[in-house]
Structures are given as structure tokens and as C-alpha cells.
Amino acid sequence: MDTDLRDELDEWLTPFVAALRNKTRFWICPADIAGLIGPGDRKSIQPMAARGSDVSYDRLHQFFASGVWDQEPLETELQVEVDR
């Protein structure tokens, strides 16, 4: 993903990842989103990690496998963003 685009994405995602309230998720989530919207046909964890993600396969897998968090803060941030 283009560096400028990645910087814009990171900036836009800041209130959402802050709502996750977890330091590790704060840096894994943007890498995951970048992998999902970036180049490449396969959007599963292994191909995304192999395309040069800043996050390893194991970290991405753990992000999805143990992705238990309170969704209310994320929904609140989404409502703020939609209203804006």
C-alpha cells in the first residue's frame, strides 16, 4: 500500500483503534485493514502477512482468533464519524 495512503488510513482509523482499548490491537488493526483493502486477490491471514505486512502471521491470526472486545466503544466512534 502506498505510504501516503497508509498514513491517511492510520489517521482515519485512530479513533476506532483507540476504542479497542488495547495497545497490541492499536497497531495490529491498521495493518489488518490495510491488508484487506490493499492489493492482492487472497485476503486471508497468511497471504496478507506474506505481502509484507508490518504484522506477522501469528499476530494477525491471534487478532482474529481471540478478537473478543467490547463493540460498544467502536459503535460509538462509528456514529460520531457518520454524523461528521
Range list of β-strands (E), the chain: none
* Enclosing domain of residue 29: 3-83
Assign 52 a pLDDT band (cuts: 50, 70, 90): low
Mean pLDDT of 20-49: 81
Cβ partners under 8 Å of residue 81, min gap 6: 15, 16
Whole-number Å distance between alpha carbons of 68 and 71: 9
Mean pLDDT (the chain) is 82
Cα 52 to Cα 17: distance, rounded to the nearest angstrom: 21
User: 15, 80 in Cβ contact below 8 A?
Assistant: yes
For range 44-65, the mean pLDDT: 80
Percent of the chain with pLDDT over 70: 95
Can you give the pTM of this predicted structure? Answer: 0.68
Angstrom distance (rounded) from CA 16 to CA 73: 8
pLDDT value for 60: 82
Predicted confidence at residue 30, as pLDDT, reads 83
Domain count, the chain: 1
